Amino acid sequence: MRILILLLVASAVLTSAGAATAEELVVSQKKKRFDPPLLTAKIGDTVLFDNDDRFAHNLFSETLGFEFNIRKLMPGEKHEMKLSKRGKFVVGCVIHPRMKMTIIVD
């Protein structure tokens, strides 16, 4: 019984420690740019894309293994993305093709 209790306590401590290390990283979309243009994150982190611009933007990636296409974000809207695997991918905006950023997940 003591072993079971110790295992449960150890599991709870590890779970809460893992949750405490996850971060929310904010990427602003302003002046038709991503800020920051390069983001380094960890698995479990959440990226909050904040359209702080007066233009609508889109979020997409065609990087192999990281493909996604998020609907249009109107000014003032936000979108959260939880990072679940390691790698490096480029995020762009279909509406403004020069808008690009890179996210590296360790």
Between 46 and 21, the more confident residue is: 46
**Is-above-0.95 flag for pTM?**
no
**Residue 15 confidence class, pLDDT cut points 50, 70, 90:** very low
Facing residues of 101 across strands?
A: 91
pLDDT digits over 42-77, tens only? Answer: 999 999 999 999 999 999 999 999 999 998 999 999
Q: Which residues contact 55 (CB under 8 A, 6 or more apart)?
A: 32, 75, 95, 96
Burial of 91 (0-12, 13-18, 19+ CB in 10 A): buried
Residue 47, helix vs strand vs coil? strand
CATH topology of domain 24-105: Immunoglobulin-like (2.60.40)
Q: How many CB atoms lie within 10 A of CB 99?
A: 21
